[in-house]
Structure 1
């Protein structure tokens, strides 16, 4: 496949416009249109529908766009890695982090990093453990940070901190009035959980399974920790939340811990990278800022 044609296709898919793509690539519109027609003819498919307000991807075009995006992300990562070898104080740092780490741990570190390295480019993707792990394998992220079990081959993981998942409810919840609280009583309540693929959800369901509890029926799913926390504050049910994310709410009485220490979950926060890849200087500098000596442990 001609990469020049692929880059033209990718530009049109992102801009939705022949004219905008021509300006981006410094090619005349007629020349760009000819190149696109040639590319479509070689593939034997139509990649775009020509609409009054721009170019719309066909089903075949959408499939190709997803692959092209991954390919060019690898290209950008390769360029960034080469630059970092030459000069650790500049370059690009692409990170993926699961929700707790990406929201409550890394922003402070990244802010300090920019102060020391003002010329670096930083991209932080926040998703669930599965998405982050896959992103490191696919070379979209130089480093990943997860709080759940690692199920992807080819990665090395090192624990850099521990966190605690605590079962909580809103102030005034009837569970708080019970003198002796049992697990069965908790599981019968509406449970607030992260989406499937989340490391947080996996460790909670594992805990319940180990205690002989089937998967609860009454589950409300949330795509991020902050939304889940707000639902718990407003009386939506029982939630296991990272202690690191709710210190203010616990102090102010908006959330209350359930009196079952057996339901508290200690979990490691891990940094991961490709097992066969050496750390670039910029990655090493970032890890040292996160925790002295961490870069040497990977």
Structure 2
């Protein structure tokens, strides 16, 4: 079917006049009449009955006009949808994040973003540093939010640092090192409660010991989540090496105590990561803009 002719026919039915349709379409009245007649010949059925200067639809013409109305309404909806996707108002954004930003930063960022872009679907996957880079590199995610040490990332990843927070050693309030300042060597004699291998903080601790030529601590208990490790230390066992963002409130309430290590001030980098050579979609750019405004 000739969609151009169908559109012209539908315009005539909406205007209820060939003359008015010609003015709207900015073509001559004879041209409209000629194209309608040609369309009728192609269809093999009449669309209009003669009625002076006006138009009367045949039974077939009425049926075709109703279907054309639905078709062009759907076309308009599709165009609006495409425009919305291009402008970043609709669509889906896949975020992969390490545990720190996933638990303590992204919930607020996502809520703020959704108030402005309600029709955007957001999926958030939590994993360790290695998993975050792998998912981003393999196109399983659009953005990776990294919380960890130095920017040891693949060359294909674009790294944009947002801010830094401190890394703390924390223990239970009754621990013999609570609220004290000790040497790194003394700190490493304590049993540690750590996340799984691949965790950025665990890698930082091992690297720290190597740089000071100190034997890494014994990992007495290992958890896949932050909260489990924190609760174990609060219960009175071991040391946790963790971002201050995670435990600041626990320390303020006296549920955990910080241990300072002489000569050390360690920071945790929070960064947004995307694929370096990709053109970022408007949707991804809008999310990144939201994050930057809320940092």
TM interval, short-chain normalised: 0.5 to 0.7
Q: Is the 8 A contact 2:179 2:258 kept in 1?
A: no
Aligned positions, number: 212
Cα offset, 1:120, TM superposition: 0.6
**1:176 aligned onto 2:178:** yes
The Cα RMSD (Å) is 2.1
* Displacement of 1:292: 4.0
Structure 1 residue 216, shift from structure 2 partner: 2.4
Deviations 1:80-133 (A, max 9, x none): xx8875241110010000000111011101011111111010000011010000
Alignment-derived partner of residue 273 in structure 2: 272
* Aligned equivalents of 1:275, 1:145: Cα separation in 2: 15
In structure 1, the residue matched to 2:258 is 257
- Measure, in 1, the Cα distance between the counterparts of 2:134 and 2:140: 9
2:116 equivalent in structure 1: 116
CA distance in 1, matches of 2:146, 2:263: 23
Alpha-carbon distance in 1 for matches of 2:179, 2:291? 41
Equivalent-residue separation in structure 2 for 1:291 and 1:252 (angstroms): 30
Deviation (angstroms), 1:222:
1.5
1:288 CA displacement: 0.8
Structure 1: runs of 5 or more not aligned: 1-81
What is the CA distance between 1:215 and its match in structure 2?
2.5
Give, in whole Å, the separation in 1 of the partners of 2:152 and 2:101: 15
1:265, CA displacement in angstroms? 1.4
Residue 99 (str. 1) matches residue 99 (str. 2): yes
Unaligned runs of 5+ in 2: 1-81
The correspondence of residues 131-280 of structure 1 with structure 2, limited to 5 A, is 131-148=131-148, 149-176=151-178, 181-280=182-281
Q: Taking structure 1 as reference, are residues 181 and 123 closer, same or farther at Cα in structure 2, changes over 3 Å only?
A: same
Which protein has the larger Cα radius of gyration, Structure 1 or Structure 2? 2
TM-score by length of 2: 0.67
**Does structure 1 retain, via aligned residues, the 8 Å contact 2:167–2:266?**
yes
**Cα offset, 1:293, TM superposition:** 11
Separation in 1, partners of 2:252, 2:141: 36
Give the C-alpha shift of residue 218 in structure 1. 4.0
2:163–2:269 Cα contact (<8 Å) kept: yes
Q: Could you tell me how far apart the structure 2 residues matched to 1:83 and 1:208 are?
A: 54
